Amino acid sequence: MQYFVALKIGEKRVKSAQGLLTRYTGQAMPALALKDTKDNTWEPVGEENRYAVVKEIGGYMIVICDKNGIAKSIAQWFTEDKKNKIVAKIASEENMVEYVGKLSLPI
């Protein structure tokens, strides 16, 4: 796929994930629009949504990613109680499952 075509598709998916996460957290940031491939081909981030949680010193980060763990949107930093409430709402209202593998984050 051509770079700009893949980027436009990926940006649309990121914007959708960011809107979804903002709905539950109040503010979310965009993340990665393209998959990191080893053979220099361009692929947009996946269409499907999963949520993931990352624990850091400052609290918990909530991530919307694709089925391969590529982050599309992130919201940070939450207390454990707030994180639990947000994740429970996302899981029940969006019927979304948790991603438990290795995440690709925009760091």
Q: Which helix H or strand E contains 79, and what residues bound it?
A: none
Is residue 100 in some structural domain? no
Nearest CA among 24, 8, 12, 6 for reference residue 96: 24
What does the pLDDT look like over 11-29, one tens digit per residue? 999 999 999 999 999 999 9
Q: Are 47 and 79 in contact (CB under 8 A)?
A: no
Domain residues for the domain of 44 are 3-94
Is residue 69 in some structural domain? yes
Is residue 73 in some structural domain? yes
Is residue 18 in some structural domain? yes
Is residue 103 in some structural domain? no
40's CB contacts (< 8 A; 6+ apart) are none
Is residue 14 in some structural domain? yes
What does the pLDDT look like over 43-81, one tens digit per residue? 999 999 999 999 999 999 999 999 999 999 999 999 999
Please give the tally of structural domains in the chain.
1
Write down the pTM of the prediction. 0.93
Is residue 102 in some structural domain? no
Is residue 55 in some structural domain? yes
